[in-house]
Structure 1
Amino acid sequence: MSRRAPPEPSTDDIALFRDAVGPVRRIETEAPAPEKPRPRPRAHMREADEAAVAGDLLRAEYDPALIEIGEELSYLREGHSPKLLRRLKRGQFSIQGETDLHHMNAEAARTSILDLLDEAHTEGWRCVRIVHGKGLRSRPGGPVLKGLTDRLLRRRSDVLAFASARPAQGGTGATVVLLR
């Protein structure tokens, strides 16, 4: 079935239309507003995994003999060169982010550490510092936040190494963490 084009309007019809409508002017169109950038994707399963171990970390038995006040923390994930840990201890990595856990309870400190590690992952940071203090005012159980930091970092698969900071960066009261 073929369609025919509509007939051309007559000059009388055109004049009648223009009288009915009146004078017209062209409306300038504006360019559409640019789209807002989309947020970066979040690792929901990773967050769920981290939330699942929260109770385990807080209930974990703590042996104060493991970490004496003032003792240096040091850890290197298996399969990596000891040179990596030596470079970290010498301060040869630029610190790109940090969190200070002073005056926090264990749960708030754990959340702060996880937030820092998530931000580091999102931003592509390789080295961060966690200031936990030396635990000088801790109860007989030892430095709580220092022990929590040690246990939490050892369980993270994205942590390659960590060590107590150099004296100018907080000494044994801070830990420098190297991430994948």
Structure 2
Amino acid sequence: MNTCFRLAVLEDLPELLQLEEQCFTTDRLNSRSFQWMITRAHGQLLVAQAGEHWLGYAVVLFHRGTSLARGVRDEHKKDVMRLVHEAFTQQLLASDVECEIGGPLKLPQLLEQGGQPLVLISSYRLTRSKSPHWVIVTDCDDEFVYLHDPDVDHSQHRQAMDCQHVPVSHGEFDKMCSFGRGKLRAAVIVYSR
């Protein structure tokens, strides 16, 4: 039987809720969330079916700033993430990219040397969304780190100018760019060749 992919409609709500219950034990989407995705979201909710059998759904949002991320709890998925991470690490080490693990992010020095820091932050302190998010550090001084946030949340009536050179205190920035119990951090510094 062929698999059919199509846009979800409101009549699909019972099947979507049933799939959600079968697939997730916590942080489930509810009827109201699905209804919003089908009727008002800046994105698409796709469903996959084989005849009358529901195979799954996919949510495609066309801008960030949502709270739909599902950090990973299943042990098998954690193993997969670990294996992918290890493979990426090996590929990185085999490349000509300089890799520094650990140590502080010396923003003034990096900017002075012509580096363009891309830093992974938690959006929570900016948008109350717990999703990870990359920002560009445009400058820093004694009081602030200045960020360019490529995520323009039009639902909050923001313009691109509202997300450029945003001042964030050093203390807040340190909190934004650390994750989990281990206080993990990630940054990519790009230099012109």
TM-score (norm 2): 0.24
Larger radius of gyration: 1
Instruction: Choose between structure 1 and 2: higher helix proportion.
Output: 1
TM-score (norm 1): 0.25
Instruction: Flag the structure with more relative contact order, 1 or 2, with Cα contacts below 8 A and sequence separation at least 6.
Output: 1
